[in-house]
């Protein structure tokens, strides 16, 4: 009887730890917004997501965990689990002199089932 209790407790503890998902995409919280440069939407930009981050990790996109591509109107939407994230957008504004690259980001904290609206202002 003691062994059954012990194994049941270990199994319960294991499943409790595994089921608490944090800092990943795919959850019930959502962040959405527009990537823009001086009020102009930046179409086809990329929004990179760094899990469990509150500060800018850097320009190198390989430092991020995943990404989404914004639509032709600059809109993005990312389903998230609760946690801390840094989102970084990078795109091209062909209305400015070459090299046209605009970028910027922000940190956010998502709670379970929360819908956040976070526009990302990018600059040269």
CA distance 33 to 100: 22
Enumerate residues 6+ apart whose C-beta is below 8 A from 110. 27, 29, 31, 80, 81, 82, 83, 85, 116
| Contact criterion met (CB below 8 Å) for 86 and 71 | no
pLDDT tens for the 124 residues of the chain, in order? 565 545 444 544 444 444 456 777 888 999 999 999 999 999 999 999 999 999 999 999 999 999 999 999 999 999 999 999 999 999 999 999 888 999 999 999 999 999 999 999 999 9
**Cα→Cα distances 121→11, 27, 60, Å:** 47, 25, 18
Identify the structural domains of the chain with CATH numbers, from first to last: 21-121 (2.60.40.1120)
Which neighbouring-strand residues pair with 117?
Answer: 32
pTM for the full predicted model: 0.81
* 3-class secondary structure, 35: strand
């Amino acid at each position: 009887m003691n062994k059954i209790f012990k194994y049941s407790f270990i199994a319960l503890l294991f499943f409790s730890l595994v089921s608490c998902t944090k800092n990943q995409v795919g959850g019930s919280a959502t962040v959405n917004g527009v990537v823009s440069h001086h009020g102009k939407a930046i179409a086809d930009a990329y929004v990179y997501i760094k899990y469990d981050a509150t500060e800018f990790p850097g320009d190198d996109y390989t430092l991020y965990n995943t990404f989404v591509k914004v639509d032709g109107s600059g809109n993005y939407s990312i389903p998230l689990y609760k946690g801390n994230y840094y989102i970084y957008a990078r795109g091209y504004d062909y209305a400015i002199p070459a090299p046209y690259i605009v970028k910027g980001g922000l940190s956010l904290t998502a709670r379970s089932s929360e819908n956040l609206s976070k526009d990302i202002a990018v600059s040269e």
